[in-house]
Structure 1
Amino acid sequence: MTTAEADRKATAPSAAGPVDPTQHIADPGPLGLAGFAATTFALSAVNAGLVAKAIEPVVLPLALFYGGLAQLLAAMWEFRKNNTFGATAFGTYGAFWLSFAFYVWQFADRIPPADAANATGLFLLVFTIFTGYMAIASLRTNAALVGVFVLLFLTFLFLTIGEYSGANSMAKLGGWLGLVTAVVAWYTSFAVVLNSTFKKTVLPVVPLRR
């Protein structure tokens, strides 16, 4: 057999059908969810008033490297695995956390104090809209992800209302919703890792009928 014939034989689909070239790639979802959950938890603890506002800068390195970079890497692997939903979600929220870090770090002080709330409100509104339509798309995934996206939509919504209205109670409610969102995201990440490791369903995510 010539080298060319051997190559053709190696790449030809089997009788059972073509082999999925991404089947050897680990699921990037748990990494993306864990990075999202950790950063959301830290910022939401500040927004909910559980910790002092003065420690908010601790969120920035998390936002840059775990919520930002790790989610962007997860998004690239979701593209490789042909998962449009996962790639879009992790890519956007990774970019959100990177944008948030740079906004607080480099640009927030350049905005006149009278316009600061409107600027932050506009920033949050963009991601409220995105999360709203991703919550609708999540209805074709599983119940755990639906919980993450519905809770995240409400988190962004109340934070946005809080910024535009100046109502601190709305921002605090958004912070508490963010904490619940982070816990559900951690659960979903943990479930996928645990189920994959044990090769059986240990923690359910409840796939929805397609």
Structure 2
Amino acid sequence: MSDMEKGQSSQSATVNATPPAQAAYNGQHGFTPISHTPRPTGIGNPGALGLFSFASTTFMLSLYNVGAHGVSTPNVIVGMALFTGGLAQLLAGMWEFPRGNQFGGTAFVSYGAFWMSYATILIPSSGIATAYATKQELDNAIGIYLEIWFVFTSLLLIGAIRRNITFILLLFFLALTFLILGVGSFTGSASVNRAGGALGIITAWIAYYAGVSELLVREESYWMPPLGALPRRLD
């Protein structure tokens, strides 16, 4: 989700022009249009941190949703959701904004907030779950919560169109995951929840792949993961 060229010192970025190498990199990897001029900053690329944190937390919860090793109670996710999916992503997003990456900052901060809010639901002392008179009412409330994140992710997906194929697939499968898990919460269907978990696993591995692309530095790596560059508007 970063729009800065890997391996290039941020101090060398200018305010008046985007170097050709930067433009080529943005076309393949970044969320920011080619015409965007990076802001001079000493902040390193937080994209790998945000993507790996998101992927690991999503992968863990999705394994619980498919019933891996007989686990049906997801509360171990609380610490992971608060500090890895939550705090680490929140920090990654806040570091994206001063780098001029509005899309990446919005995505990381929002999903960091999602994981923090989801963890809060599972904390018994929060009183959120016990506030509902019946399990069905709680399930319906969680279903609404998940469908709202489906709507938000769908809007991000619109913003990702024409950026690169990997991030389009990431947001598409994430939106589908939220949709199916929401339906599973409404219906109480274990099979639907497992399907949502399977989609979440796919989403997590796409995020891991994208995270590797942000971690590697072009000048220091023998191979860069192709993300599927798409043609850009020239006007």
Instruction: Give TM class, smaller chain.
Output: 0.7 to 0.9
What is the CA distance between 1:199 and its match in structure 2?
5.4
What is the CA distance between 1:166 and its match in structure 2?
2.0
The change in CA–CA distance for 1:20 and 1:84 in structure 2 (over 3 A counts) is closer
Equivalent residue in structure 1 for 2:208, among 171, 183, 186: 186
Query: Corresponding residue for 2:27?
Result: none
Whether 1:83 and 2:97 are equivalent positions in the alignment is no
What is the CA distance between 1:109 and its match in structure 2?
2.7
Query: Corresponding residue for 2:11?
Result: none
The change in CA–CA distance for 1:207 and 1:58 in structure 2 (over 3 A counts) is same
What is the CA distance between 1:79 and its match in structure 2?
0.8
CA contact 2:218–2:224 (8 Å) conserved in 1: no
Query: Corresponding residue for 2:54?
Result: 36
Equivalent residue in structure 1 for 2:82, among 64, 67, 71: 64
Equivalent residue in structure 2 for 1:134, among 140, 152, 156: 156
- Aligned identity (percent) is 38
The change in CA–CA distance for 1:23 and 1:140 in structure 2 (over 3 A counts) is farther
- Listed as ranges, the gaps of 5+ residues in structure 1 are 1-13
The change in CA–CA distance for 1:202 and 1:20 in structure 2 (over 3 A counts) is closer
Query: Corresponding residue for 2:129?
Result: 108
What is the CA distance between 1:61 and its match in structure 2?
0.7
Mapping of residues 128-167 of structure 1, within 5 Å? 128-167=150-189
Query: Corresponding residue for 2:198?
Result: 176
Query: Corresponding residue for 1:5?
Result: none
The change in CA–CA distance for 1:196 and 1:77 in structure 2 (over 3 A counts) is farther
What is the CA distance between 1:60 and its match in structure 2?
0.8
What is the CA distance between 1:54 and its match in structure 2?
4.9
The change in CA–CA distance for 1:97 and 1:197 in structure 2 (over 3 A counts) is farther
Aligned residue type for 2:169: G
Query: In the comparison of the two structures, how many residue pairs are matched?
Result: 197
Equivalent residue in structure 2 for 1:27, among 25, 29, 45: 45
CA contact 2:49–2:92 (8 Å) conserved in 1: yes
Please tell me the root mean square deviation across aligned C-alpha atoms, in Å.
2.3
Query: Corresponding residue for 1:205?
Result: 227
Cα distance in 1 for partners of 2:202, 2:229 equals 21
3-state SS in 2 of match to 1:34: helix
CA contact 2:38–2:100 (8 Å) conserved in 1: no
CA contact 1:68–1:94 (8 Å) conserved in 2: yes
Rg: which structure is higher? 1
**Structure richer in helix, relative to its length:** 1
